[in-house]
Structure 1
Amino acid sequence: MLIQRLCTLDDLAEIERLAAVSPVGVTALPVERERLVAIIEASLASMADDVTFSGEERYFFVLENSADQRLVGCSSIIASAGFSHPFYTFRNEMFVHASREQGLHNRIHVLSLCHDLTGHSLLAGFHLDEAVQQDVMLRSLNVRGRLLFMASHPQRFSESTAVEVVGVSDAEGNAPFWDAVGRHFFAVSYLEAEQLGSTRGRHFLAELMPGYPIYVPMLSDAAQEVIGQAHASAEEVFDILLQEGFETDDYVDIFDGGPVVRAKTSVLGSIQNSQCATVRIGQPQPSGSAWLVSNQKVKDFRAAMLDLEWTPGEELVLSVEQALALQVEDGHQVRLVWEA
């Protein structure tokens, strides 16, 4: 069975394996062992804290095959983006240029560097092993399982949530948007910029970006075409985010121009529509209906996609195997939402 849980230091070797093949972009994992250890230790510290409001906590989740303890994916939640440094994006705006004497009125698309989304919770670091990238249920678990964690522990997160979606780049690591914008202010390739961002923090490069609005019509056609576009490998994840209720078009990533989506945390589909049920260990009736189910713990959080028969308001019957996977017993509460 494949489960989502929070990472421990025992997972370091497997995380290093995933990091070695992590793609370029905002989903990238740092390859340096020290950075990975720091991320895992920050997650462990976040679990231990008695959190009453969102701060610098980071929660690092992994997807594990319980049969062989092999990790097949990972993802994160940053409780408050930009807690230590501003969280920069480009804001999509329209400037109006008008001449009363000539009767001319033009609306011009511009990008303005901002940190409007600083303080939002941030879903980050989505990655799946290449062998399971086409598994729809697993992809959904990796994206949405985190939302059930947020639903069970709302005090740990912001009222609003954002997600950076990796933008367009080619197989050689070239990004049209970076080449047209960022490269003029920091003379490195897109691949090098993302590597620097993953090791030193993306704010390090953001602070060198132009402070004045960028007039989009002055960019190359190739750069204009990719603004707000997700990379082909991220399109399915992007679709899940839009189905959850995230809104697009207002912000784009400062490196590759990919979409940065946002929403009120409480109205996201998996949070708003999730329900709680009391567990009873028994023999569940197969139904052919997939449910995303999680326990309501912090340190020992577990989530999985299960084939279940359940009616809201009734007990949830789990098999012994399912209960062990979720680390729950008779009488425990779980949170679940139907997988559409």
Structure 2
Amino acid sequence: MYVVRPVELADIPALEALAAVPMPGVHTLPKTREKIRAMVELSIASFAAQVDLPSEEGYLLVLESLDEKKIVGTAAMYAAAGSNGTYFSFRNDVIQQVSRDLNISHSVHALTLCSELTGYSQLSSFYVGEREHGTAEAALLSRARLMLAVVAPHRFADRFFVPLAGVTDSDGGSPFWDALGRKFFQMDFLDAERTIGGARNRTLIVELMPHYPVYVPLLPGDAQAAMGQIHPSGELAFNLLTAEGFEADDYIDIFDGGPILQAHKNSLRTFTGALQRRVSTSAEQPDRGREPQLRYAVSSGSEHDFRAVITHCPALDAQLSVALSVEVQEALHVAEGDTVICVRI
């Protein structure tokens, strides 16, 4: 059995091992022990805090194989992007240009530096091992972040976004960065990521990035082709998020041109399909040949001890309770009569 739970200090060595796996882009785990520890400590403090409005909190979840006692995945969510500044991105715009004298009218694709995603809750740091890639557990890990927001809506914004790593070459270069960012920062893509630390809320973004719209037709062909495209390693996350209800096309990352998916919570399947049920105990594993069984992601109803698993049970639409085995209850840290959140997978 797998469980998604908040990260603990004891997980730091496992996170270091995961961070050592080559992962393109910057929307993943930090690479140094100090930064990993800082991320873990922020998450622990955030879960423990009493929160009225989303601010600087960051929540890191891990996917653990209980049988192997091994961490095999991570997923994070930040309560309010740009809480200590402004979160910058490029907005895809269309500029209409008209000449009455020449009787010419045409539309031009342009990129405009904007801060419209500031204050949205940001999903990031999604990673699963090869064995879990494409499994229901990967879907559970991605969805668990939103289930946490269902349990504790006051901790998060009403809108969410997810930046995905853009296209890079075998040497880590970015055609989009080379065509645009390099001109203003005068450094390679990887150097910029290391120097700026992946932050999209730094003052130097305003100081150095162009303030006027960038006309896309003036960019080289490879840079245009890279806009809004994801690195192959991000396809799983993209598929899970679009199936959830996230949409692309409005924004791209200011560094590598990768897509930024965004959505209002009321358009996401986890929010619209979440069922609150009381726990009852199933005496034994149900006979699946006798009664149709559906697969559900089930999470505890506690914001301070949040946990989520996958289990099978009959359709819950007309039920007031959900029958969980003792094993599942122990994994969720719940008991009979407690409230859980159920979302069909």
Q: Secondary structure at the match of 2:165?
A: coil
Aligned CA RMSD, in angstroms, stands at: 1.6
Distance, in Å, in 1 between the alignment partners of 2:24 and 2:234 is 12
**Residue identity matched to 1:203:** N
Corresponding residue of 2:343: 337
Q: Secondary structure at the match of 1:317?
A: strand
Corresponding residue of 1:60: 60
Shift of residue 222, structure 1, vs aligned partner = 0.7
Corresponding residue of 1:250: 250
Contact 1:284 1:317 in 2 (8 A): no
Distance, in Å, in 2 between the alignment partners of 1:301 and 1:75 is 14
Instruction: Give a deviation string over 1:75-110, Cα, whole Å, max 9, x none.
Output: 111000000021110000011221111111121110
Distance, in Å, in 2 between the alignment partners of 1:143 and 1:209 is 32
Corresponding residue of 1:320: 326
Going from structure 1 to structure 2, the CA distance change for 1:28 and 1:188 (only over 3 Å counts) comes to farther
Instruction: Pick one of 289, 296, 316 that aligns with 2:301.
Output: 296
Give 4+ residue runs of structure 1 displaced > 4 Å after superposition: none
Distance, in Å, in 1 between the alignment partners of 2:8 and 2:322 is 29
Distance, in Å, in 2 between the alignment partners of 1:116 and 1:97 is 25
Corresponding residue of 2:154: 155
Instruction: Give a deviation string over 1:239-288, Cα, whole Å, max 9, x none.
Output: 22122221221100111111111111233111111101111122242445
Q: How does 1:87-126 map to 2 (within 5 A)?
A: 87-126=87-126
- The percentage of aligned residue pairs carrying the same residue is 37
Q: Secondary structure at the match of 1:168?
A: coil
Contact 2:294 2:315 in 1 (8 A): no
Instruction: Give a deviation string over 1:31-70, Cα, whole Å, max 9, x none.
Output: 1211111111111111111111111111011111112321
Contact 1:162 1:262 in 2 (8 A): yes
Shift of residue 193, structure 1, vs aligned partner = 2.6
Corresponding residue of 2:185: 186
Shift of residue 22, structure 1, vs aligned partner = 4.8
Distance, in Å, in 2 between the alignment partners of 1:152 and 1:298 is 6
Going from structure 1 to structure 2, the CA distance change for 1:203 and 1:52 (only over 3 Å counts) comes to closer
Going from structure 1 to structure 2, the CA distance change for 1:261 and 1:250 (only over 3 Å counts) comes to same
Contact 2:167 2:174 in 1 (8 A): yes
**Residue identity matched to 1:80:** A
Contact 2:63 2:73 in 1 (8 A): yes
Contact 2:166 2:231 in 1 (8 A): yes
251-260 or 206-215: which moved more?
A: 206-215
Distance, in Å, in 2 between the alignment partners of 1:162 and 1:211 is 23
Question: Tell me, which stretches of 5 or more residues in structure 1 are unaligned?
Answer: none
Going from structure 1 to structure 2, the CA distance change for 1:21 and 1:206 (only over 3 Å counts) comes to farther
Equivalent pairs counted in the alignment come to 337
Shift of residue 12, structure 1, vs aligned partner = 0.7
